[in-house]
């Protein structure tokens, strides 16, 4: 009998067997091959609804603008759009995808420290709800893009760099003063004093802060919200009326099977702070990505070879850093379990798990005990692979991009296009 995993109601596991959305992993592998991302869409929708409810109970006007970079599979973003989610995108293609999935233009936000003129033109043409500028020069470029398109009245915000150093992996921290992200607070003030009266085609109406990803301390989000409100008050003297506060994404999840930071505390630190500070009139945008999608997905990969090397037992699988980059890029440790083992005899043998790519960093980590002995043809599952998994995959080493299939209502299907 398979048992439901704690905190993962869509996953069932027993020694050497895994099912997701009620479908055995091996049935999916036989039908679709490996490496294979398998996403339970109901789980994605459930997490979105939880976030929306927590934020909306603390502030009236909230846009949960899902960060497409975390998972841009059309079926995922379309399911979220159907539930009313907004979209945070960082490129022309992101704008197109959000619109094709039915997200209203006013619920689309575009961010990014180095947007191309094409990215900006796509956002301007679509009339997105907010273009967050990451340099003062970018505001002037947006003006000129609007002029060349003959457009006025576009809504622009500043991503502010408050020099907030959040506790997270160095590669996921974005809020430090010398990072490439955002505009220093004092520069925003100076720009607004000098340039706002001269802007003809754009209006500065938004303030945004995103200090990093995989952050578990709600205090970071509270500090950001408080500073955003303070800054909006200071900008009033320049005639700037901020009507939208964006707290970025960044809420962390637990990759070791724990509960992770509670969404209620995040909602209180963000939406709750704006309400308490007398900004119940403003729109609050949350760009959650990871928190919504991380645990919805497993990555199934087949064991090609098992071998001993200098005292280490290697299980060499067909997914690599090209399929799932997080372990190689951030040293991220995901749980790996035996999704289908031919021999289910109990074993405490430990494995290092490596991929097919010719890089020493192409491993999922070391010392995995899967409860069984692995052999060629077995299937293992990397858990919580829904965020920054398929969206970061590449064809490095001339390998094909992995497929994603959805499971819902006991049935599986390939991700539909948008």
Ligand X SMILES: Cc1ncc(COP(=O)(O)O)c(C=O)c1O
Nearer to ligand X, 132 or 232 (CB): 132
When asked if residue 213 is in the footprint of ligand X (CB under 6 A), the reply is yes
When asked if residue 290 is in the footprint of ligand X (CB under 6 A), the reply is yes
When asked if residue 108 is in the footprint of ligand X (CB under 6 A), the reply is no
Among the listed residues 52, 99, 210, 302, the single contact to ligand X using CB under 6 A? 210
Among the listed residues 94, 176, 250, 386, the single contact to ligand X using CB under 6 A? 250
When asked if residue 249 is in the footprint of ligand X (CB under 6 A), the reply is yes
* Choice among 146, 192, 358, 418 that is catalytic: 358
CB neighbours of residue 184 within 10 Å:
14
Q: Residue 40: which residues within 8 A CB-CB, separation 6 or more?
A: 10, 20, 21, 296, 297, 406, 407, 408
Nearer to ligand X, 210 or 283 (CB): 210
**Smallest gap, in angstroms, from Cβ of residue 115 to ligand X?**
12
Among the listed residues 248, 272, 356, 389, the single contact to ligand X using CB under 6 A? 248
When asked if residue 326 is in the footprint of ligand X (CB under 6 A), the reply is no
Segment lying near ligand X (by CB under 6 A), choices 145-153, 262-270, 282-290, 401-409: 282-290
When asked if residue 218 is in the footprint of ligand X (CB under 6 A), the reply is no
By CB under 6 A, the count of residues binding ligand X is: 17
Active-site residue flag, 358: yes
When asked if residue 354 is in the footprint of ligand X (CB under 6 A), the reply is no
Nearer to ligand X, 274 or 291 (CB): 291
Region of residue 348 (left: phi > 0; alpha: psi -120 to 50; beta: else):
alpha
**Smallest gap, in angstroms, from Cβ of residue 290 to ligand X?**
4
Segment lying near ligand X (by CB under 6 A), choices 63-71, 137-145, 191-199, 219-227: 63-71
Segment lying near ligand X (by CB under 6 A), choices 41-49, 71-79, 248-256, 322-330: 248-256
Separation CA 188–CA 230 (nearest Å): 13
Separation CA 216–CA 96 (nearest Å): 32
Six token digits for residue 304: 């090609």
Among the listed residues 21, 129, 176, 289, the single contact to ligand X using CB under 6 A? 289
Residue 274 sits at the vertex; the CA angle it makes with 113 and 210, to the nearest 5 degrees, is: 20
Separation CA 64–CA 286 (nearest Å): 5
Nearer to ligand X, 326 or 340 (CB): 326
Closest CA to 63 of 265, 248, 252, 264: 248
Q: Residue 62: which residues within 8 A CB-CB, separation 6 or more?
A: 52, 55, 56, 271, 283, 284, 285, 286
Among the listed residues 92, 111, 119, 295, the single contact to ligand X using CB under 6 A? 111
Separation CA 308–CA 351 (nearest Å): 10
When asked if residue 67 is in the footprint of ligand X (CB under 6 A), the reply is yes
Nearer to ligand X, 58 or 290 (CB): 290
Task: Identify the DSSP state of 8.
Answer: E
DSSP result, 156-200: EEEEEE-----SS-GGGB--STTSSSSEEHHHHHHHHHHHGGG-S
When asked if residue 182 is in the footprint of ligand X (CB under 6 A), the reply is no
Ranges of beta strands (E only) in 194-291 are 202-208, 244-246, 283-286
Nearer to ligand X, 76 or 387 (CB): 387
Beta bridge partners of 294: none
Segment lying near ligand X (by CB under 6 A), choices 64-72, 100-108, 234-242, 364-372: 64-72
Terminal-residue alpha carbon distance, the chain: 38
Nearer to ligand X, 224 or 362 (CB): 224
When asked if residue 47 is in the footprint of ligand X (CB under 6 A), the reply is no
How many CA atoms within 13 Å lie on the side-chain side of 137?
Answer: 5
Residues taking part in catalysis: 358
Judged by the rule CB under 6 A, the positions of this chain that interact with ligand X are 67, 69-70, 88, 111, 210, 213, 248-251, 287-291, 387
């Amino acid at each position: 009998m398979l048992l439901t995993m704690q905190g993962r109601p869509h996953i069932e596991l027993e020694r050497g067997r895994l099912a997701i959305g009620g479908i055995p992993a091996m049935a999916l592998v036989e039908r679709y091959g490996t490496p294979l991302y398998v996403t339970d869409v109901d789980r994605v929708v459930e997490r979105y609804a939880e976030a929306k409810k927590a934020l909306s109970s603390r502030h009236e006007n909230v846009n949960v603008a899902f960060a497409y970079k975390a998972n841009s599979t059309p079926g995922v973003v379309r399911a979220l759009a159907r539930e009313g989610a907004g979209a945070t995108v960082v490129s022309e293609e992101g704008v197109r995808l959000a619109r094709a999935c039915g997200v209203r233009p006013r619920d689309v936000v575009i961010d990014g420290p180095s947007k191309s003129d094409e990215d900006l033109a796509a956002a301007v043409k679509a009339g997105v709800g907010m273009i967050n500028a990451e340099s003062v020069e970018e505001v002037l470029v947006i003006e000129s893009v609007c002029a060349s398109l003959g457009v006025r009245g576009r809504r622009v915000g500043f991503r502010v760099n408050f020099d907030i150093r959040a506790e997270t992996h160095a590669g996921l921290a974005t809020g430090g003063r010398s990072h490439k992200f955002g505009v220093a607070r004092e520069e925003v003030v100076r720009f607004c004093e000098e340039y706002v009266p001269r802007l003809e085609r754009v209006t500065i109406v938004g303030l945004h802060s995103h200090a990093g990803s995989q952050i578990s301390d709600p205090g970071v989000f509270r500090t950001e919200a408080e500073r955003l409100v303070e800054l909006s008050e200071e900008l009033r003297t320049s005639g700037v009326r901020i009507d939208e506060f964006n707290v970025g994404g960044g809420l962390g999840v637990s990759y070791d099977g724990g509960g992770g930071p509670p969404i209620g505390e995040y909602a209180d630190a963000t939406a709750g702070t704006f309400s308490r500070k007398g900004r119940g009139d403003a729109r609050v945008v949350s760009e959650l990505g990871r928190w919504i999608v991380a645990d919805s997905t497993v990555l199934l990969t087949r064991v090609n070879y098992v071998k001993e090397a200098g005292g280490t037992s290697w299980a060499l699988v067909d997914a690599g850093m090209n399929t799932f980059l997080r372990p190689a890029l951030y040293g991220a440790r995901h749980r790996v379990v035996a999704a289908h083992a031919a021999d289910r005899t109990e074993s405490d043998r430990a494995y290092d798990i490596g991929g097919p790519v010719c890089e020493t960093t192409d491993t999922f980590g070391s010392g995995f005990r899967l409860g069984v002995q692995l052999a060629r043809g077995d299937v293992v599952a990397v858990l919580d692979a829904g965020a920054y998994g398929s969206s970061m995959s590449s064809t490095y080493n001339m390998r094909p991009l992995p497929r994603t299939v959805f499971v819902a209502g006991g049935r599986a299907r390939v991700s539909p296009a948008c």
